[in-house]
C-alpha cells in the first residue's frame, strides 16, 4: 500500500497488535520501564537500605550475619524482587489484554485486509529481561546510596526530579542510554513514546553505566563499612 493512507493503516494495525497475545507483554512493560520501574525500584532499594536503621536493628543484623553477608543478602533480595515484579507485570499485561480488547476494540477491527511487515516485533523474553535489568540496576543504586545517606527523603526526591523533570544532559546520560538501548527491544505499538534519545554508542554506554554502578557500590560499601552501626 504505497499511498498517503499507508502510515495511518500501519499505525492502526500495530495498535491492534499491541493487545494481541505475547505482544501485550511488551505493550505493558514499555509503559513502565522508563519512569515507573526506575523510580519505584530506586525507592525500594533505598528503603531496603534504611529499614534496619529506622528499626534500630542494624547492629544486631551485622553481629548476627557479618557485614559482607548483610550487604550480599540485600543485593540478592533486590535482584530477586526485581525479576519477580517484572514477570508479574508481564503476566498481568498478557492477562489483561483480552479484557481491554473486549472493552475498547470493536468486533472484527483486527481483521486487516492488507499485510503489514512486522518482522521487527520485539521478543517478550528479551523485554522481560531488559525490564528486569533496569529494575535491578535502579534498585541496587538506591540500596548503595541509602546505605551511606541513611535517609530516603532527599535521595528519592532527587531521583524523582531527575527521572521525571530534567531533560537528558547528553549522550552518556544514563537515562539517554536506557532509552537508546530499548529501541531494539520494545515496539511502542501501544501509543507510548519515550523521549527521543541523543545519538550514542549504545554498547559503550551500557558498559559505562555498569562500571559506574560498580564504582558506586564499591565507594558506598567502603564508606558504610567505616560508619557506626550503633544506630
Higher pLDDT, 19 or 5: 19
159-184 per-position pLDDT tens digit:
999 888 888 888 888 899 999 998 88
Rama region for 2: left / alpha / beta (φ>0; ψ in -120 to 50; rest): beta
- With cut-offs at 50, 70 and 90, classify the pLDDT of residue 108: low
Over residues 147-160, the mean pLDDT reads 92
109-143 per-position pLDDT tens digit:
556 666 666 655 678 899 999 999 999 999 999 99
Tell me, what's the pLDDT at 63? Answer: 78
- How would you class 150 by CB atoms within 10 Å of its CB: exposed for 0-12, middle for 13-18, buried for 19 or more? middle
Compute the distance between CA of residue 24 and CA of residue 17 in angstroms, rounded to an integer: 8
43-101 per-position pLDDT tens digit:
999 999 998 888 888 877 887 888 888 899 999 999 999 999 999 999 998 988 778 77
Q: Label residues 169-182 b or e (16+ Cβ within 10 Å = b).
A: eebbbbbbbbbbbb
**Distances 49 to 7, 41, 44, 133, 213 between C-alpha atoms, Å:** 49, 12, 9, 19, 16
Cell for 135? Answer: 529494575
Tell me, what's the pLDDT at 165? Answer: 85
Higher pLDDT, 36 or 59: 36
Q: Are 194 and 182 in contact (CB under 8 A)?
A: yes
Instruction: Provide the whole-model pTM.
Output: 0.86
Amino acid at each position: 500500500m504505497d499511498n498517503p493512507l499507508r502510515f495511518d493503516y500501519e499505525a492502526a494495525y500495530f495498535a491492534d497488535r499491541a493487545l494481541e497475545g505475547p505482544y501485550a507483554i511488551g505493550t505493558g512493560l514499555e509503559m513502565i520501564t522508563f519512569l515507573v520501574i526506575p523510580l519505584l525500584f530506586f525507592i525500594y532499594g533505598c528503603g531496603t537500605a534504611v529499614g534496619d536503621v529506622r528499626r534500630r536493628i542494624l547492629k544486631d543484623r551485622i553481629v548476627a550475619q557479618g557485614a559482607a553477608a548483610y550487604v550480599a543478602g540485600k543485593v540478592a533480595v533486590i535482584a530477586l524482587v526485581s525479576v519477580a515484579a517484572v514477570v508479574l507485570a508481564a503476566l498481568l499485561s498478557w492477562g489483561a489484554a483480552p479484557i481491554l480488547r473486549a472493552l475498547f476494540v470493536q468486533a472484527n477491527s483486527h481483521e486487516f485486509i492488507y499485510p503489514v511487515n512486522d518482522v521487527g516485533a520485539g521478543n517478550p523474553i528479551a523485554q522481560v529481561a531488559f525490564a528486569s535489568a533496569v529494575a535491578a540496576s535502579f534498585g541496587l543504586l538506591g540500596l548503595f546510596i541509602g546505605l551511606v545517606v541513611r535517609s530516603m527523603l532527599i535521595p528519592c526526591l532527587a531521583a524523582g526530579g531527575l527521572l521525571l523533570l530534567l531533560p537528558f544532559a547528553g549522550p552518556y546520560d544514563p537515562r539517554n542510554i536506557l532509552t537508546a538501548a530499548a529501541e531494539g527491544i520494545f515496539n511502542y505499538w501501544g501509543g507510548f513514546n519515550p523521549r527521543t534519545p541523543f545519538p550514542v554508542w549504545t554498547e559503550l554506554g551500557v558498559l559505562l553505566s555498569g562500571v559506574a554502578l560498580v564504582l558506586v557500590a564499591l565507594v558506598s560499601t567502603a564508606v558504610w563499612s567505616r560508619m557506626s552501626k550503633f544506630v
